[in-house]
Structure 1
């Protein structure tokens, strides 16, 4: 529990009415009698503009340079937040940092389950990581932190904040190319996480770090830590590791690889591997990240985000399933000058893995044989086509690109397509 009256690793004037909080937020709309507010600088305005609103909402304290009630008054709120986070993180016995061009959130969920750890929520910006470390750093349970980057130099900053004991790179591929420039830059930047710690890399990323001493690989096949006897069915996957059979309902190879990572971490932490394997079968990843909805036809909701390596993994998972396979793909953001070529390559893979391919939005023709300019047009065609026994994969980038010079670029937001498919599937009253 963040306590402003405890010893702080920075100089602060603590108002006598300030009190401990359950957690911190930099979004004043989340402030409440249990949630304290951190007034951080933003792109357009400073969090100080919302201090009064946070206090009115009952925030136990506010971290700010303003002289207001319940203030923890500092010269620089962001520097103080990060210093506090480092101090709390230092109290934890095991911190795992996870990065990668795709699969970070899935790996985080399975690693945390195997370790019985606290883990980062979906939002993984530096302030979010800092708040997480302050809230959970002193816990005896391990911490699993997702460390996403979109510019050069950012991983070094995150490593300085998180100071992980174990660094994990799930995959390497073209993502955030507008800022990172090349695959080589991406591998180098993410590889900063592997320096001076125990490093683990997924099978897909392993070739990028083959000459890195001490870095071990995990997954299936020719890797340091390999799962065995992998079986993939529409009901899920099973495999063995260290003599233990692992069953993951409604999962695919990506989830199985993440589960192997979790078991490697649990084994090295001295935990009971059988108990860790049991916890893996109960993992539930957030919506939009390869969530399988069964029924008279199957919908694979992987619509949260997309990059070429992530779409490739999803298409390969689709190809392994029985039934008529349908891919519904939308634009991938922040791919730089080669975006048309990258979309075309993904489209060729879709045509090889799926029986029927749909594309929507920019580069729709590259992504699918049945191309549509907008989601409403897509839905009219798709809903008239889908039938019992089909397996439909839905994947695209959502939201907008936050690159200043490309701010107008919009993702497709195919979560609405998933919702429409599920309503259509259940329209006859049969349970899904």
Structure 2
């Protein structure tokens, strides 16, 4: 429980009616008798505008600079939240930070399973990470935090907040180029996670694809790496390999998931966790919707529609190429690629034509991405459903544009989760999760 009446790591005036909460939120719609509200400044409105709404919902306390009932009154709610997060993080026995141009969520899920750790939910903003650290730091279990960036200097801010004992980079490739400028800029900014706070000690690990950017840093995966899984075999049924003599079987997994599992086993071994137990937990990992989630049936749908970058799309296409049956790729625009975006889409489209039997593209750069190009998602869905047949395997992948305003997403982002749902409904009737 988060008790505002207990000593706090920041200066505050605590209302006598403020009471303990189980969770924190900066979204007043989530406030409840168990969930306290943090009034943070936003791009368009300050959280103070929603304090009364949170109190009416029964929030045990509100972190704010306002003089209201159940207030934990501070000069700066954001600074107080981060101070609190650092204090609670210091209580955790092990914190693993994961970044990369692709595969962060997958790596986070497999590392957490191997270590039997608590891990960040889908959202990985600074406030979300701070709330997670406050809620979980005292649980006595390892923590795994996804640390994505899209601007210069952001990783240094994240490292200062999370202070990871282990820093992991999964991959390096073109993503967020509009802000980070170049592949070298991406590698430099993400590389901050390997150095820790003020250059302090941190266990650094990089995936096989990223190893060339960080000479001398220990690497993991398969092949010529520091810590390698052996005997990798990937089929439509899943991936299997061994690590340190322990067999590992991952249902409906691809090479990307297998590499993440190797990472988890490396960290489990270093933490003194029994590898057989870790491997057993890895077999049960279920990734969130949109992250290479396989739906099998009379035709197979691979839902990888949550987000996309050139590195991630190529990895998904490599996995698709290993399936039997007619292989279909459905690709949409990859966002934030800067002035070379048309070339990068054309390169990914050429890769798709080499890996798939039939390629569809939608939205901006549809013609670059697929032989069958459509301006809108409804047009694409109609054509795809008319063509799909039993035994097909359909990969769906694009950027959803979740970092943009709703207006700009309507112009630029492509939400291909709509395509996934349409395919599942056509295959099975109403989709269920």
Same-fold call, TM > 0.5?
Answer: yes
2:228–2:262 Cα contact (<8 Å) kept? yes
Partners of 1:401 and 1:88 lie apart in 2 by 28
Q: Within 5 Å, give how 1:346-357 maps onto structure 2.
A: 346-357=348-359
1:400–1:410 Cα contact (<8 Å) kept? no
Residue 289 of structure 2 aligns to a residue in which SS? coil
C-alpha deviation, 1:389, in angstroms: 1.2
Q: Within 5 Å, give how 1:20-39 maps onto structure 2.
A: 20-39=20-39
Partners of 2:404 and 2:411 lie apart in 1 by 9
2:401–2:409 Cα contact (<8 Å) kept? no
Partners of 1:342 and 1:113 lie apart in 2 by 34
List structure 1 segments (4+ residues) > 6 angstroms apart after TM superposition: 403-408
Q: Which residue of 2 aligns with 1:218?
A: 220
Q: Within 5 Å, give how 1:260-299 maps onto structure 2.
A: 260-299=262-301
Q: Which residue of 2 aligns with 1:389?
A: 391
> In the TM superposition, what whole-angstrom CA distance separates every residue of 1:356-415 from its partner, at most 9, and x where no partner exists?
100011100000001011111111211121111111100001135538996764311111
Partners of 1:393 and 1:140 lie apart in 2 by 40
Q: Which residue of 1 aligns with 2:205?
A: 200
Residue 132 of structure 2 aligns to a residue in which SS? helix
Worse-superposed segment, 384-393 or 157-166: 384-393
Gaps of 5+ in 2: 196-200
Decide whether aligned partners of structure 1 residues 407 and 365 sit closer, same or farther in structure 2, where only a CA change above 3 A counts.
closer
C-alpha deviation, 1:220, in angstroms: 0.6
How many pairs does the alignment contain?
427
1:401–1:408 Cα contact (<8 Å) kept? no
Q: Which residue of 2 aligns with 1:105?
A: 105
2:335–2:401 Cα contact (<8 Å) kept? no
Partners of 1:308 and 1:409 lie apart in 2 by 21
Partners of 2:31 and 2:18 lie apart in 1 by 14
Partners of 2:140 and 2:55 lie apart in 1 by 32
- RMSD of aligned alpha carbons: 1.7
Task: Compute the TM-score of the two structures, normalised by the length of structure 1.
Answer: 0.96
Partners of 2:353 and 2:224 lie apart in 1 by 28
Gaps of 5+ in 1: none
Matched, 1:300 2:305: no
- Residue 402 of structure 1, aligned match among 401, 404, 420: 404
Q: Which residue of 2 aligns with 1:362?
A: 364
- Residue 313 of structure 1, aligned match among 302, 312, 315: 315
Q: Which residue of 2 aligns with 1:19?
A: 19
Residue 317 of structure 1 aligns to a residue in which SS? helix
Partners of 1:2 and 1:387 lie apart in 2 by 54
